[in-house]
Structure 1
Amino acid sequence: MSVQGTILVLDGVSTNRIMLKVQLTAAWYHVVQGEKLEGLQALVRRTQPDLVLTAQTLPDGTAADVKNAIATVPGLEDVPIVAVAAQNDRDARLRALKDGLDDVLTHPFKDTLLLARIRSLLRARAVTQDLQASNSSQPIGFGEPAPSIIRPPKAAQVSILTHAVQTGVLWHKALREQRQYSLSWHLQSNLQSVLSGAVPDAVIVELGTHPSDLNILADLRSRSITRNTVLIGVMQDNDTLQASEALDRGADAVCLGGFCTQEILLRLDNQIARKARLDHLRVSLRKGIAESWIDPLTGLHNRRFAMRALDQIARESARTGRGFSVMLADLDHFKAINDDHGHASGDHVLTQAAERMRGALGSRGFVARIGGEEFMIGMPDVSPTQAKQMAETLCSSICSTPFRLSNEGRQVDVTVSIGLKMSQPSLPAQDCVSSYVETLIDSADKALYAAKKAGRNQVRIRQNAA
């Protein structure tokens, strides 16, 4: 039997646990049971649940105590916790949301709503885990992992979508009087007004009986600009089937029984805080990925990027039949600059050399720093004549003007040697591209050695791959 995840059911009443186990097992979840708060931390360490369903009141504690206890267990801080209430008590639901629980379900509830809420919460947790794993597995050179506490923006952008103008005005007024959100409201018939403005952190959607209401949720969740926006549905009745459908269409939460200002505010606070943490993880991950391709001293791309870029250039060349070039450039007598003027001056020369070569090449290819004073240049869609002219231009950009040193007013002349290799007219099959690129780089390296041996400050072209 396929098991979709582990769910911990906590309840002091055995019949309640049994009923939930039957419902969840039928949906292919693995169910672990517990009766009370005592021993809970050892239980969750052993079972590693993906979600917790707990009675609001246990023999020795409350659902809030459950959340606090599990939050101290490493690796389980983000486990969704849902309270199960014995009756439809709005005050109890509000208290649970205020305590930070992810949701509250009220007996009796249908399987469809229970399972839809579980699916929604597990999807949300999977996103969190993926981002945390990606950040924690970053190699050296990536950005720092996100701090444990990330505060949401002071003025979150919240949009309200309703069927009628009067409803939108009332909801807007109720939220504006309670919080300093940056609020806007729109008719559902004018969804474009939401999509064309500032990207909202959260959207509150009125859910009626029309199928288009649910389609709006799916639409917002599928668009790139609102993919990570918090979506909260508000229903006038207690239609659990529609609520289940809303959750499966992408809603982060559904408020049953009409618009309740306190409940909306609590759900906004909880969901926007979670979104802020995830946004921070995304920024950290994007920054880390970008930094992994960049040489920190010169700002040029690094060897890792250069090898990936050359591979892509070669594959495109194999597809189109148009040639490309590989160059290796090495600053001449660079060790003497470090020895005579210090490493700070040497670093200053490297950054200027990078600027000059990047300026000379422009958008016609890439230049990367692949070693101490060694650079790689790749040019796609280029003829041998064009490649040679560019190599000579790069050489001239270095030697034409003296380099400033870190000491004020001092300058030094610098030259560069360049080895050039063009791709062959007949290119290899796609599955042999990587080894072919390595061969070209080796040939460019031999050409660079020849330029050094011939007196430096010049370009040499390798005519074959031997």
Structure 2
Amino acid sequence: MSAQGTILVLDGTATNRIMLKVQLTAAWYHVVQGERLQGLAGLLRRSKPDLVLTSQTLPDGTAADVKKLVMANPDLIDVPVVAVAPQNDKAARLKALSDGLDDVLAYPFKDTFLLARVRSLLRTRAETQELQVSSPSDPIGFAEPTAAQIMPAEAARVAILTQSPNTGALWRNALSQQTQYKLSAHTPSNLHGFLLGPVPDAILFEVSACPSGLNLLADLKSRGITRHTVLIGVLEDDNAELASEALDRGADAICLTGFCPEETLLRLENQIARKTRRDQMRASLRRGVVESWVDPLTGLHNRRYAMRAMDQIAYQSAQAGQGLAVMLADLDHFKAINDTFGHSAGDCVLAEAATRMAKVVGSAGFIARVGGEEFMIGLSNTTQTKALELARHLCECIREKSFDLPDTLEPISVTVSIGLITTHPNESSHPPEPVQLEGLIKSADSALYAAKSGGRDQVQQSAA
């Protein structure tokens, strides 16, 4: 497979297929060819295309049938399907877009426009692929069910950006009669205020040959707040060079030959639906990442996070010549709580203990649950005196107030034992010697064992 991507070309006429193949292979795309709907499902499975270019009509079907077959394959659900029309027929273009095709290209088209549109579509495809986990048939989110739509289509925000206020008002009025989108009209002169407001889901902009307009398009695509906003350009003519430039600057779609409310709405619906899916995938990815670092019972960080955090604290402390502390805290007689009152009661104790200790630690460091009833606390830029004082406060916050349990009349007393190890900067070492984290944790664990052996409900220190 070419590094540029695989493109499936479907056309019943051999000369059309050959012409497209020549254009695409010259740009280092891998081209697979087909001529009819029959056998297409198998061809899709074998070739796994990144993009499908299909004639509007095939010997045994239509471009809409091709789209349905592509969508039926879970691995290809985000593969764009583009219809190639024999002429620039507006009615046929609107029909194809209403059938769910991602775009319609009309013969004759220049190589520059074809390749710019292909690059644009493949960029979107690549962005979606980056959000996929190892099983591409599942949405991102670590095999969790598909999330509900983040924003219903009718509630989407669409900003109209034109050179003159009159043009923007005309476009807005025409669209408002056919959609429930939240429409707003702007000009480049009030762009700053526009960007301070709610981030639009899509921006419909007027494409002009003015360099500042194309630069603005690139700027919108590069800004953090509008990077994922759909950008749809409208050209007053069929200037292929200008359309190609707009696509390469970041436009997601282009409407040629002027503003058409019907075509604009179809493109908005298509692009916003794709954006909604990608937004869902990003949100699910963020949830998955957060959940991979968090203990679900206590809401604290987990062991995986703790080890990463301690690595970072150790490195930063060594570079800055500052001390650090590692504590291991273990609830005393926790097994007896589970055996006497049940595991649900034990869970309540863990959650409440975590809340109390997190409040004590505050912004001084981090606290994580690293085992059944064991917690790790890491402190940066600290001294032995400060760390010992905080450790004693941790013991007090558990001891000073009894724990209420479900279905139990009397609260119970709980204590915690803590092992502590602190390090001191070695000013004579240049460059600073890295702290051996594994050794620190072992020392803290030995100190915890000493606290348990010494009667529990206390802090024991280990020599650095």
Letter of the structure 1 residue corresponding to residue 393 of structure 2:
T
- SS of the aligned residue for 2:195 comes to helix
Match in the other structure for 1:201: 201
Letter of the structure 1 residue corresponding to residue 88 of structure 2:
N
Match in the other structure for 2:154: 154
Indicate whether 1:56 and 2:39 are aligned.
no
Contact 2:384 2:422 in 1 (8 A): yes
- SS of the aligned residue for 1:178 comes to coil
Contact 1:205 1:234 in 2 (8 A): yes
Indicate whether 1:42 and 2:60 are aligned.
no
Shift of 1:406: 1.7
Match in the other structure for 1:296: 296
Shift of 1:424: 4.0
Superposition pairs of residues 217-256 of structure 1, within 5 angstroms = 217-256=217-256
Indicate whether 1:320 and 2:330 are aligned.
no
Indicate whether 1:180 and 2:180 are aligned.
yes
- SS of the aligned residue for 2:228 comes to coil
Shift of 1:407: 2.3
Match in the other structure for 1:117: 117
Match in the other structure for 1:286: 286
Shift of 1:249: 0.6
Distance (Å, rounded) in 2 between the aligned partners of 1:402 and 1:277 = 48
TM-score normalised according to structure 2 size: 0.95
Contact 2:157 2:183 in 1 (8 A): yes
Letter of the structure 1 residue corresponding to residue 265 of structure 2:
L
Structure 1 residues 71 and 195: alpha-carbon distance in aligned structure 2, compared to 1, 3 A threshold: same
- SS of the aligned residue for 1:183 comes to strand
Distance (Å, rounded) in 2 between the aligned partners of 1:10 and 1:148 = 34
Superposition pairs of residues 293-442 of structure 1, within 5 angstroms = 293-426=293-426, 433=434, 436-442=436-442
Contact 1:142 1:289 in 2 (8 A): no
Structure 1 residues 148 and 39: alpha-carbon distance in aligned structure 2, compared to 1, 3 A threshold: farther
Structure 1 residues 164 and 201: alpha-carbon distance in aligned structure 2, compared to 1, 3 A threshold: same
The superposition leaves residues 220-265 of structure 1 with CA deviations (integer Å, 9 ceiling, x where unpaired) of 1101111110000001011101100111111000101100000000
Match in the other structure for 2:459: 459
Shift of 1:123: 0.6
Match in the other structure for 2:89: 89
Letter of the structure 1 residue corresponding to residue 9 of structure 2:
V
Superposition pairs of residues 99-118 of structure 1, within 5 angstroms = 99-118=99-118
Contact 2:318 2:432 in 1 (8 A): no
Shift of 1:352: 1.1
- SS of the aligned residue for 1:403 comes to coil
Distance (Å, rounded) in 1 between the aligned partners of 2:181 and 2:374 = 53
- SS of the aligned residue for 2:133 comes to helix
Range with greater deviation from structure 2 (71-80 or 231-240) = 71-80
Distance (Å, rounded) in 2 between the aligned partners of 1:334 and 1:72 = 53
Contact 1:367 1:377 in 2 (8 A): yes
Structure 1 residues 430 and 349: alpha-carbon distance in aligned structure 2, compared to 1, 3 A threshold: farther
Contact 2:398 2:415 in 1 (8 A): yes
Distance (Å, rounded) in 1 between the aligned partners of 2:159 and 2:74 = 36
Contact 1:9 1:17 in 2 (8 A): yes
Shift of 1:360: 1.1
Distance (Å, rounded) in 2 between the aligned partners of 1:310 and 1:205 = 49
Contact 2:332 2:414 in 1 (8 A): yes
Structure 1 residues 360 and 142: alpha-carbon distance in aligned structure 2, compared to 1, 3 A threshold: farther
Distance (Å, rounded) in 2 between the aligned partners of 1:8 and 1:357 = 59
Letter of the structure 2 residue corresponding to residue 421 of structure 1:
I
The superposition leaves residues 280-312 of structure 1 with CA deviations (integer Å, 9 ceiling, x where unpaired) of 111111011111111111111111111111011
- SS of the aligned residue for 2:100 comes to coil
Contact 1:186 1:193 in 2 (8 A): no
Match in the other structure for 1:276: 276
Structure 1 residues 169 and 135: alpha-carbon distance in aligned structure 2, compared to 1, 3 A threshold: farther
Structure 1 residues 135 and 442: alpha-carbon distance in aligned structure 2, compared to 1, 3 A threshold: farther
Match in the other structure for 1:67: 67
Shift of 1:409: 3.5
- SS of the aligned residue for 2:68 comes to helix
Contact 2:11 2:34 in 1 (8 A): yes
Distance (Å, rounded) in 1 between the aligned partners of 2:382 and 2:314 = 12
Structure 1 residues 163 and 131: alpha-carbon distance in aligned structure 2, compared to 1, 3 A threshold: same
Letter of the structure 2 residue corresponding to residue 384 of structure 1:
Q
5+ residue gaps, structure 2, are none
- SS of the aligned residue for 2:186 comes to strand
Structure 1 residues 431 and 8: alpha-carbon distance in aligned structure 2, compared to 1, 3 A threshold: farther
Shift of 1:194: 2.1
Count of matched residue pairs: 461
Structure 1 residues 391 and 285: alpha-carbon distance in aligned structure 2, compared to 1, 3 A threshold: same
Range with greater deviation from structure 2 (257-266 or 27-36) = 27-36
Runs of 4+ with >4 A deviation: 134-138, 147-151, 427-433
Distance (Å, rounded) in 2 between the aligned partners of 1:150 and 1:358 = 32
Distance (Å, rounded) in 1 between the aligned partners of 2:305 and 2:18 = 56
